[in-house]
Amino acid sequence: MPASPTAVPGARSADRYLSADGARLRYRDEGEGPPVVLVHGWTLDLEMWDPQVDALRSAFRLVRLDRRGHGQSGGVPAPGHDALDLAALCRHLGL
């Protein structure tokens, strides 16, 4: 299934969503400059990167993804999905 953005009522203005292989995934794309993709660890979500984003957004384009089944992303974590979801996000954003 191709990635497609959707708006969600009540979401933070920086939150965006895409559909990848049947899962609705939350991401944020902030800042200007060379892109840096930040991926959180197990049991966390994209907000773990807030302090780094605050420090780096003036020099870098920071892309964060809630991994499948974490934070506000749907789906069930399974082997291989992290790489496929990240590839779908990068294609969607032209990275």
* Domain limits for position 74: 5-93
**CATH code, domain with 64:** 3.40.50.1820
| pLDDT (mean) for 86-95 | 96
In our burial notation (b when 16+ CB lie closer than 10 A, e otherwise), range 28-65 reads bbebeeeebbbbbeeeebbeebeeebeebeeebbbbbb
CB 25 within 8 A of CB 81: no
What tens digit of pLDDT does each residue of 4-23 get? 555 444 334 489 999 998 99
Q: What is the pLDDT of residue 6?
A: 52
Specify the 3-state DSSP secondary structure of 85: helix
Q: What is the pLDDT of residue 3?
A: 53
CB 91 within 8 A of CB 2: no
pTM attached to this predicted model: 0.82
What tens digit of pLDDT does each residue of 39-86 get? 998 899 999 999 999 999 999 999 999 999 999 999 988 888 999 999
> Which of the 8 DSSP states describes residue 47?
G
Structural domains counted in the chain: 1
